[in-house]
Amino acid sequence: RKEVEQDPGPFNVPEGATVAFNCTYSNSASQSFFWYRQDCRKEPKLLMSVYSSGNEDGRFTAQLNRASQYISLLIRDSKLSDSATYLCSYSGAGSYQLTFGKGTKLSVIP
């Protein structure tokens, strides 16, 4: 089983739509979780950390479900500038290594 699985997409959504991505992970000892966004041929940029209690940053909401071993990202009121690949990642207990998924590609269409 892959360490981190994400639907590769692409998700093509109109401006203003709400879109949700899920990511499943296999390592039950995973400690910290993050969503990054990556524009084509650019570096990953930290979008937000993910907590069990859920956290929100403007139009973005992230959620962690440890029992089912998945994390989610919800984007409301999509903007053209949200078009990117969204990477989920985690680090394990006592490890500094971030494990990334292959990413989910989002295209927001005018």
Partner 1 sequence: EPEVTQTPSHQVTQMGQEVILRCVPISNHLYFYWYRQILGQKVEFLVSFYNNEISEKSEIFDDQFSVERPDGSNFTLKIRSTKLEDSAMYFCASSAFGGEKLFFGSGTQLSVL
| Positions in the binding site for partner 1 (CB under 8 A) | 31-32, 34, 38, 41-46, 49, 87, 91-92, 95-103
Residue 64 Cβ, how far from partner 1 at the closest point, in Å?
A: 15
DSSP conformation letters of 12-77: EEETT--EEEEEEE--TTEEEEEEEEE-TTS-EEEEEEE-TT-EEETTEEEEEETTTTEEEEEE-S
Residue nearer to partner 1 on the CB measure, 44 or 83:
44
Residue 4 Cβ, how far from partner 1 at the closest point, in Å?
A: 8
Question: Smallest Cα–Cα separation from 74: which of 54, 103, 93?
Answer: 54
Residue nearer to partner 1 on the CB measure, 10 or 16:
10
How far apart CA 23 and CA 6 sit, in angstroms, is 5
Residue nearer to partner 1 on the CB measure, 11 or 36:
36
Residue 34 Cβ, how far from partner 1 at the closest point, in Å?
A: 7
